[in-house]
Each structure stands twice: as structure tokens, then as C-alpha cells.
């Protein structure tokens, strides 16, 4: 805002102190709104970076815990594969395993990480629990989870 203009210059430039003050206040509001928006974008960016680091750490931990599971396929289900490992009398379940053209009875070798036990209903109608492994890495956070 210009402090004081001579009257002839005010007339020539159509200067109105009230309009000048209103324009200045409007500009300051716009700058303030932009600063708030930039701060929010920066915070979201830092959150995304943090989530990406957490995801990378989870993948690294998953990779370190991978084991090679070798055995004979007992059954392929929608959830994964039941198989018997060599010299083992109890089946194990491999979640998220790609059947890849295998059929019951095939010998396979799958890399998977230990995970929570798998519970299922058996043919006699009772529940059973077996040791389980997961062949899929941790899921990447979706955009909805990042917000």
C-alpha cells in the first residue's frame, strides 16, 4: 500500500485507499491459503515417505524370513496349496502360492515365509489347524491408506 500520494496523482491513477487496502488483504489471504496448502502437501509427502519406508522394511523382513518348502502337493485350493514335506507326517499350507499348472501329487519347491497357522474345515466336518507359510510379499499401501 502506498502511504500518501499527491491528490493529482491519485486522480490520474484512479487510486482509492480503501480499494488498495482490500486488494492487499485479499492477496495476503491468498498467500496464506497457499502456505496452508503447501504445508499440507509437505506433511502428506512426509507421511508417504514414512509409509514407503515401513513397507520397504516389511518386505525386507519378509525376504529375510523366506524358507524353501519342498514337498508333494496334497491339494490345491483357492486360498493356496496343502503339501506334505519330505519326512513329515503333517501337511503344511502355503498361502498365496501360484499353482502354476501343478496338480495334486506333484513335487514342488516354493519360497515362502512363516505366518499364522491356517485353520480349515476337513472332510469329516471338524476343524483342523496346520502350520502355514505365505508366498506373497506384504501388500503395498493403497492411496486410501496413505491419507
Q: Do 123 and 97 share a structural domain?
A: yes
Q: Is residue 26 part of a domain?
A: yes
Q: What is the pTM of this model?
A: 0.58
The rounded distance, in Å, linking the Cα atoms of 82 and 67 is 16
Total residue length of the chain? 147
Q: How many CB atoms lie within 10 A of CB 75?
A: 12
Please tell me the predicted confidence (pLDDT) of residue 101.
83
Please tell me the predicted confidence (pLDDT) of residue 59.
86
Q: pLDDT 10s per residue in the chain (147 long)?
A: 456 777 787 788 777 878 888 888 889 988 888 888 888 777 777 768 888 888 889 889 888 989 999 999 999 988 899 999 988 889 999 998 888 888 999 999 999 999 999 998 877 888 889 999 999 888 777 655 544
Q: Write out the residue range of the structural domain in which residue 53 sits.
A: 11-62
Report how many domains make up the chain.
2
Q: Is residue 6 part of a domain?
A: no
Please tell me the predicted confidence (pLDDT) of residue 38.
84
The rounded distance, in Å, linking the Cα atoms of 57 and 37 is 30
Q: Is residue 5 part of a domain?
A: no
Amino acid at each position: 500500500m502506498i502511504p500518501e500520494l499527491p491528490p493529482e496523482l491519485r486522480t490520474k491513477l484512479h487510486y482509492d485507499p480503501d480499494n488498495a487496502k482490500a486488494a492487499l488483504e485479499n492477496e495476503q489471504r491468498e498467500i496464506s491459503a497457499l502456505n496452508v496448502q503447501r504445508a499440507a502437501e509437505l506433511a502428506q509427502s512426509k507421511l508417504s515417505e514414512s509409509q514407503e519406508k515401513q513397507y520397504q522394511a516389511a518386505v525386507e523382513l519378509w525376504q529375510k524370513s523366506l524358507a524353501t518348502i519342498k514337498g508333494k502337493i496334497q491339494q490345491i485350493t483357492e486360498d493356496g496349496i496343502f503339501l506334505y514335506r519330505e519326512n513329515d507326517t503333517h501337511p503344511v499350507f502355503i498361502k498365496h502360492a501360484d499353482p502354476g499348472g501343478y496338480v495334486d501329487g506333484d513335487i514342488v519347491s516354493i519360497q515362502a515365509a512363516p505366518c499364522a497357522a491356517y485353520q480349515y474345515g476337513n472332510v469329516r466336518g471338524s476343524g483342523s489347524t496346520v502350520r502355514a507359510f505365505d508366498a506373497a510379499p506384504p501388500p503395498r499401501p493403497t492411496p486410501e491408506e496413505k491419507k
